[in-house]
Amino acid sequence: MAREAAATAAGLLLMLLLLAGSDGGGQRLEAAAGGRSAAKGANVEAAAPPPRRAPAPAPPVAASPGQFRGQARLPRFAAPRRYDLRLRPDLVACTFTGAAAVTVAVSAPTRFLVFNAADLSVDRASIRFRDLAPKEVVFFDDDEILVLGFSNDLPLGEGVLSMKFNGTLNDKMRGFYRSKYKYKGQMKNMAVTQFESVDARRCFPCWDEPAFKAKFKLTLEVPPRMVALSNMPIANQTVTGPVKTISYEESPLMSTYLVAIVVGLLEYIEGVTPEGTKIRVYTQVGKSNQGKFALDVGVKSLHLYKDYFGTPYPLPKLDMVAIPDFAAGAMENYGLVTFREVALLFDEESSSESSKQNIAITVAHELAHQWFGNLVTMEWWTHLWLNEGFATWMSHLAVDSFFPQWNIWTQFLDDTTAGLKLDSLEESHPIEVEIHHASEVDEIFDAISYDKGASVIRMLQNYLGAERFQKALASYIRKFAYSNAKTEDLWAVLEEKSGEPVKNLMTTWTKQQGYPVINAKLKGNYLELEQAQFLLDGSSGRGMWIVPITAGCGSYDMQKKFLLKGKSDRLDIKDIASQCGNQVKGGNFWIKLNINQTGFYRVQYDDKLSAALQNALQSKKLSVMDKIGIVEDSHALSMACKQTLTSLLRLLYAYREEADYSVLSHINTVSLSVAKISVDATPGLVGDIKQLLIKILLPPSVKLGWDPKDRESHLDALLRPVLLVALVKLGHDKTINEGVRRFGIFVHDRNTSLLPPDTRKAAYLAAMQNVTSSYRAAYNDLLKVYRESDEAEEKARALSTLCHCKDNNIVLESLNLLFTNEVRSQDAYYVLQGLDVESRETAWLWLKGSWDRIAKKYTDTQEGGFIRYIVTLFSSNEKAEEFSGFFATRKKPEFQRALKQSLENVRVSARWIQGIRSEPRLAQTVQELLRRP
């Protein structure tokens, strides 16, 4: 699943109530509860998949249904082999009815069947197993399980479990839900599924865990005009009166979270891979033309992955569908991938270059899952990173192949930075995190599973070499196809194929949280290295890693690679490069560790090494990736009070002639972080600090200008809005005035060439700078742009600027839009993105006063997003205590991790402020740098 860029929300959760009882003859059990949110056709398994894992030993025979409560996982004495499902959604009443016939294999003595169900009304009278009616039917809402107790032990072997059920097409973007769209001026409902991680149980009773793979045979009953899609191609369909009955081909073995259904009025465009696989992009009627770019990337991706994994795409077709209401960025359902519209549709007239790149990455990510995740599936959610880390890494490999001019591996350092930032908190978690309940799963769809996961894969590939790594991965896919795997299984294959100690090396990175900072000191002709766990609160954890060290001295021609296996090591610098020993006293001497940032660690250099690196930076001797690594490490070390803000500002100033997009993107992020903290740390100096940051960012912005150049590069097109937005936020008057001017022209002529999609956000932000309750023309104009646009990207762009205003009444008005039907639930976080330090108190008062309304309208995971966006605007221990007190009686497991991480970030900022205030030369340094020509 691809996260939405600023949301990291991967699914949705809601706790509902249990209603149990009977209705006379029908005897219905109401199950309503919450958690979160090969060859083609018949030859798909011609190569005979390996035997599935033997089930875990059966537990002692339970005497009562209650003994199954409170378990992390379902018992293994019975498992599904095949689901025959029939579903009939009513798009007007927003309900659905269903019938399931599940072939179940009983492997150990038991009189119980235990499986998942939630938000469903199950017809008790219809339940049969081998024609036996259950004696007991008990639903445990906290665990979302349905327990069937029979009079006697069930016969061993396979039998069919059948039942009827019904449910609601909910508006929570999870399970079987409804999405709204316009068709010929009227609002219509679409029926959509989103089952990852534990929401298939909200559509049909099932063994809703990844290890319970089974085959699926679906039949849908829909209105004749509707397009109805599922994982497999249509086997046959008939129309009888107002009902079209569609039967789909039987799927290969797959996990429940990958089953998918979409029903609505749709159109499509189509392509075919060189291997003959048909790919379609489905959209709302009238938008299919916007699917061309994604279709092209999809065709290329399937072809590339077939070669890389040494295994053909396993299904006969692949559909990609744009969904108007969608919680995550996209979802990799087998053969039927679903996306937010903004993550799939590209319009040449209204979409930005950054959107184009995001679509390419997202499509490549989801299609990588068709092998890494769908064909070979994690055994349990502890191993989620096997899915998401690898898909994130593979998507960059694919997009780099398709668009080498985008320098996508340099941009990958954005992901590494996100992983390093989250993993420097005490409230982080290991890549492999124990999951004890379904309610915990969604919180690990974060920068650790995705970004750290992908980064340690890149580190391992760099250590093993690309060719050895690729061959081992292909072997892993073939070995575990149509089955499940654990992290240890991957390490075993990589170790066998490479001959390297992969398990020992990688276990230190996946089973413990955090990462090291490598302290590098020059003592004579020796480089002394010592590792310690890096934490943003300034403390040193007890973690110890086997660290793949790369080092260069004076040039990139020769590099030293070795494993730091203990706490410290000592190198003769002649071992790093043959000429290095003679350069120690020369002007060309420098040593850089973690060459091109392939390792997931930070480096702190002593003063001599640090000064030499800064000279190398100014002399343009460092690679783009190393330029990024140096400033990111310095920023983190400053936040942890291991280096001064004074030294960080001197380093930032050394980048004033930088022109590369990726480097300036990181300089921009660090600059805005410095500007934010200076508001509280040095209020008397904040204006001068902002002017210094403007001085650094302005030259490349002036060079690019507001208007795109003919045949300019993709990277220049990406850089322009990054710089303009930063200059507006830093208060650069000339940029703000130009943005206001262009916005005024755009309001009266939406087709003006003066404000193409890439620069609109900067202009919108500029226009909001002058908005007040009594002068709100620009605000009204921006709302009009939002309301009149039919493009998801344009709507998101407008929403994300509404709160960026000095007038708190306008901020409140914007926040209250989240309780109207004007803003889709999926887009709430765009509004929160516009909040800044100036509006934080208003936002916090609003959050406290509106919490009950938020909890009612939004899901538990989304509540975590509200907390994260607002709480982290603050930077005092007193505020952290206030937040802690407020949420003490409002805790939910689904957002506990988000709350704890947010509170820790507040305390880290408070400590950073104290460190900054004690710096004696900060003001002097700022003035000195401002005076420089």
How far, in Å, CA of 369 to CA of 346, rounded? 22
Query: Can you read off the two tokens belonging to residue 365?
Result: 């990510």
914, 907 Cβ separation under 8 angstroms: no
How far, in Å, CA of 834 to CA of 797, rounded? 10
Q: Which of 738, 724, 740 is nearest to 782 (CA)?
A: 740
As a whole number of angstroms, the longest Cα–Cα distance in the chain is 93
Check 144, 209, 249, 366 and give the catalytic one: 366
103, 81 Cβ separation under 8 angstroms: yes
How far, in Å, CA of 295 to CA of 363, rounded? 9
What is the signed CA dihedral for 268, 273, 277, 283, rounded to 10 degrees? Answer: -20
How far, in Å, CA of 157 to CA of 657, rounded? 72
365 labeled binding residue? yes
- What count of other Cβ atoms lies within 10 Å of the Cβ of residue 217? 17
3-state secondary structure 234-265: EEEEEEECCEEEEEECCCCCECHHHCCEEEEC
Q: Does residue 366 carry a catalytic annotation?
A: yes
Query: Can you read off the two tokens belonging to residue 720?
Result: 């322009």
Buried b (16+ CB within 10 A) or exposed e, 860-891: bbbbbbbbbbbbbbbbeeebbebbeeebeeee
Polymer length of the chain: 933
Residues 6+ apart with CB under 8 A from 131: none
Q: What is the DSSP string of 388-441?
A: HHHHHHHHHHHHHHH-GGG-HHHHTHHHHHHHHHHTTSTT---SS----SGGGG
Say if residue 348 is exposed, middle or buried (CB neighbours under 10 Å; 0-12, 13-18, 19+).
Answer: exposed
How far, in Å, CA of 688 to CA of 923, rounded? 9
Q: How far apart are the first and last CA of the chain?
A: 49
388 labeled binding residue? yes
Query: Can you read off the two tokens belonging to residue 49?
Result: 């998949």
What is the signed CA dihedral for 824, 827, 828, 830, rounded to 10 degrees? Answer: -150
369 labeled binding residue? yes
One-letter amino acid for residue 242 of the chain: P
One-letter amino acid for residue 140 of the chain: F
How far, in Å, CA of 176 to CA of 206, rounded? 14
Say if residue 681 is exposed, middle or buried (CB neighbours under 10 Å; 0-12, 13-18, 19+).
Answer: buried
How far, in Å, CA of 765 to CA of 738, rounded? 11
Strand order in the sheet with 243-248: 28-31, 120-129, 157-168, 95-106, 78-90, 215-222, 243-248, 234-240
Q: Specify binding-site residues.
A: 365, 369, 388
Q: Specify binding-site residues for Zn(2+).
A: 365, 369, 388
Residues assigned a catalytic role: 366
